[in-house]
Structure 1
């Protein structure tokens, strides 16, 4: 039976990417050696790393604009600490917009290093909306936001307009929609939501903003060290970087971000239309802030839960249970999710 993978992460990946990746694990580039046993300093893998970084900047339209792309480790969770280490002076102020679990974790880490002000939050409503109409303090060094909130199913449609440094955690919607990425000074994203397997983290950073905090930064936490060593300061996560490269090649072949955005809009509109028209279901997030990556919804009649669960399991749907913080259901429809799988879910909802 075909499986329809709605998992929030690790994410669904294109089948052609999985096929190429599996072949590389056995025999990479005709070397009769596995990708995961060759030297990361070899010409074969250095070419992978360079191509992956070039694809990132090309797809984000940041090539030759003073940005560096890095593939690091530690997930977005380590970036919660690396960002203030590299951007926040000891007497500076960092400002954060609290829109969910991951932004609240980022706030917690930043507070270990300096003065942090939460300028907006939707915590009081269990993060069901994106805060608006907030003010950014004149003494802020940077503003941190989270573009998409995987657990709660909300997504920022507009970003802060500011002359301060703008930092964004894009872990769960990177490469999914067209944006002016040059408005951001630093973007980071764990690969496992929309780009590749767990194990690497993408960081895209404007070079000129670094080295201005006056801090002594541990080498592994210093972006300038990683840039100078071309993401090779320590042994990189070879397999996740390679699979991310393949996924970026796949995305480019579809017409890049502009091409996949149309597909993502069609998938989200199909599913939200059913949620809004079917009296047995209701959405969790405010309509104007709904995510096109993570669709959260609940049953209006809990007595139907057992029946609904058995129905979606019977057709091969996987990974649709909601996070414990929200309950109900969460359909993650990342770039590689085909619209046919979304239609299968909609058909089950109609049949309930």
Structure 2
């Protein structure tokens, strides 16, 4: 097969605050014919995740930023169209770092074959992928919930928060979710089994959270920050554990308020209550935990014990709008772009 034209989305400019569609550019590029050891992939599904906002920034972080003019980074479920690699053949479905493009050439590094007889292939982007492993590793290595604990997590209807809540229940803990809007709150409680779910959009959110956590909070899984953290902080018990995997409320700008006063309060509470507050990147634990994650959570998904929700948008060209909406909480479940689904 000769080279193929791919449609791709690149970073046109760095956003100042909230991203806009002007920060992205749709392009067509010609891919070369594959060489020995390479594969030609067709991206079927593309994952949209909050970390992508960080890659759009030029600020120093745990990963190199996407250069202006560079391909937007991301994982996809892809079909092998052509293979010159001994471990893969035409028609295989794989998890791959395709980026935001319709087709990609791969050297097979990091590829994982997917089996749709075990679970839908899209779960490799959500509950059985990076978001799911983020929840699993943070809870296993830092949160360590146990019988009788109160575990709180924001974005409870999303792919990370929903699994955090279910892992807490499996450990015998009491799970309290935080979500935006009555519909998401009701869904998180009925679908994912949270004991309580509080609406962060409510005017008396902090009071409601305190009422449903009468014995305080033993584990707070932090992926939001901002006003949610301010409500959680006074409720943290002595020796509470706080896995910090994200701060989505601060990705576009820092929240309003006296940040210096909040910092002082935070650090005083860390000291006075002997808190374990640890930031982490899920890949730190991949070598140690990923096989057990796939075995434990994969089996629970297959049996229906672990539940999940996926939210689809159609067309690669709509990925920028999807990411912008994701950062504002408009998605309902794991957000996935259907790119080349046939």
TM-score, structure 1 normalization: 0.31
**Structure with greater helix share of residues:** 1
TM-score, structure 2 normalization: 0.31
**Structure with greater strand share of residues:** 2
